[in-house]
Amino acid sequence: MALIYYHNPRCSKSRQGLDLLQQHAVTIRYYLKDPLSELELDTLLSKLVDPIPAIIRQSDVVRLGISVVDTSLPAIRSLLLAHPSLLQRPILETTDRAIIGRPPERLLEILTTM
Protein backbone atom coordinates (compact mmCIF):
# COMPACT_ATOMS: atom_id res chain seq x y z
CA MET A 1 0.00 0.00 0.00
CA ALA A 2 1.34 3.40 -0.96
CA LEU A 3 1.95 5.85 1.87
CA ILE A 4 2.47 9.53 1.16
CA TYR A 5 3.77 11.72 3.95
CA TYR A 6 3.21 15.46 3.57
CA HIS A 7 6.24 16.89 5.30
CA ASN A 8 7.77 20.21 6.25
CA PRO A 9 11.25 19.58 7.65
CA ARG A 10 11.14 22.90 9.52
CA CYS A 11 8.18 21.70 11.60
CA SER A 12 8.98 19.79 14.80
CA LYS A 13 5.69 17.84 14.72
CA SER A 14 6.37 16.83 11.13
CA ARG A 15 9.87 15.64 12.04
CA GLN A 16 8.47 13.71 15.03
CA GLY A 17 5.90 12.05 12.77
CA LEU A 18 8.57 11.05 10.28
CA ASP A 19 10.56 9.46 13.11
CA LEU A 20 7.51 7.38 14.02
CA LEU A 21 7.26 6.12 10.43
CA GLN A 22 10.86 4.95 10.05
CA GLN A 23 9.76 1.31 9.93
CA HIS A 24 7.40 1.97 7.01
CA ALA A 25 8.05 2.65 3.37
CA VAL A 26 6.74 6.15 2.84
CA THR A 27 7.03 8.57 -0.03
CA ILE A 28 7.89 11.95 1.42
CA ARG A 29 6.14 14.88 -0.23
CA TYR A 30 7.77 18.22 0.47
CA TYR A 31 4.59 20.12 -0.29
CA LEU A 32 6.14 23.58 0.08
CA LYS A 33 8.78 22.86 -2.58
CA ASP A 34 6.33 20.84 -4.69
CA PRO A 35 2.80 22.24 -4.09
CA LEU A 36 -0.17 19.99 -4.66
CA SER A 37 -2.00 20.27 -7.95
CA GLU A 38 -5.76 20.81 -7.93
CA LEU A 39 -6.32 17.10 -8.55
CA GLU A 40 -3.90 16.03 -5.80
CA LEU A 41 -5.51 18.42 -3.32
CA ASP A 42 -9.01 17.22 -4.24
CA THR A 43 -7.91 13.62 -3.75
CA LEU A 44 -6.32 14.39 -0.39
CA LEU A 45 -9.39 16.28 0.83
CA SER A 46 -11.69 13.46 -0.24
CA LYS A 47 -9.70 10.97 1.87
CA LEU A 48 -9.36 13.11 4.98
CA VAL A 49 -10.83 11.44 8.07
CA ASP A 50 -10.54 14.67 10.06
CA PRO A 51 -13.03 17.53 9.62
CA ILE A 52 -12.10 19.43 6.46
CA PRO A 53 -11.45 22.78 8.25
CA ALA A 54 -8.78 21.03 10.38
CA ILE A 55 -6.51 20.92 7.34
CA ILE A 56 -5.90 24.67 7.63
CA ARG A 57 -3.07 25.84 9.90
CA GLN A 58 -4.82 28.48 11.99
CA SER A 59 -1.58 29.97 13.31
CA ASP A 60 -0.43 30.68 9.77
CA VAL A 61 -3.81 32.16 8.85
CA VAL A 62 -3.30 34.67 11.66
CA ARG A 63 0.35 35.24 10.71
CA LEU A 64 -0.61 35.96 7.10
CA GLY A 65 -3.52 38.16 8.15
CA ILE A 66 -6.02 36.12 6.17
CA SER A 67 -9.66 36.07 7.19
CA VAL A 68 -11.21 32.61 6.92
CA VAL A 69 -14.96 33.07 7.27
CA ASP A 70 -16.07 30.44 4.76
CA THR A 71 -15.03 26.92 5.79
CA SER A 72 -16.79 25.15 2.95
CA LEU A 73 -14.86 22.64 0.89
CA PRO A 74 -14.58 24.95 -2.17
CA ALA A 75 -13.33 27.84 -0.01
CA ILE A 76 -10.73 25.70 1.77
CA ARG A 77 -9.63 24.21 -1.54
CA SER A 78 -9.13 27.69 -3.04
CA LEU A 79 -7.27 28.89 0.05
CA LEU A 80 -4.85 25.94 0.01
CA LEU A 81 -4.19 26.28 -3.70
CA ALA A 82 -3.36 29.96 -3.23
CA HIS A 83 -1.38 29.44 0.01
CA PRO A 84 0.20 25.95 0.24
CA SER A 85 1.89 26.91 3.53
CA LEU A 86 -1.55 26.81 5.20
CA LEU A 87 -1.72 23.02 4.78
CA GLN A 88 -1.70 21.39 8.22
CA ARG A 89 1.19 19.06 8.82
CA PRO A 90 2.03 16.35 9.02
CA ILE A 91 -0.47 14.36 6.97
CA LEU A 92 -0.23 10.69 6.12
CA GLU A 93 -2.18 9.50 3.08
CA THR A 94 -2.92 5.90 2.18
CA THR A 95 -4.79 4.51 -0.79
CA ASP A 96 -8.16 5.24 0.80
CA ARG A 97 -7.63 7.53 3.82
CA ALA A 98 -5.63 10.49 5.08
CA ILE A 99 -5.05 11.65 8.65
CA ILE A 100 -3.54 14.76 10.21
CA GLY A 101 -0.72 13.83 12.57
CA ARG A 102 -1.58 16.17 15.43
CA PRO A 103 -0.29 14.81 17.72
CA PRO A 104 2.18 12.81 15.63
CA GLU A 105 1.16 9.54 17.30
CA ARG A 106 -2.16 9.79 15.42
CA LEU A 107 -0.26 8.70 12.32
CA LEU A 108 0.02 5.24 13.81
CA GLU A 109 -3.79 4.96 13.93
CA ILE A 110 -4.00 4.82 10.17
CA LEU A 111 -1.27 2.18 10.01
CA THR A 112 -2.96 -0.18 12.46
CA THR A 113 -6.11 -0.32 10.32
CA MET A 114 -4.37 -1.08 7.04
Q: Is the peptide bond before 103 cis (omega within 30 degrees of 0)?
A: yes
Q: Determine the Cα–Cα distance for residues 71 and 111; give it in Å rounded to an integer.
A: 29
Catalytic residue among 11, 48, 52, 54: 11
Let me know: does 101 contact 107? Beta carbons within 8 Å: yes
- Could you confirm whether 11 is annotated as catalytic? yes
- Round to whole Å and give the CA distance between 16 and 32: 18
Q: Which of 8, 61, 64, 66 is nearest to 35 (CA)?
A: 8
DSSP three-state, residue 51:
coil
Q: Which residues are identified as catalytic?
A: 11
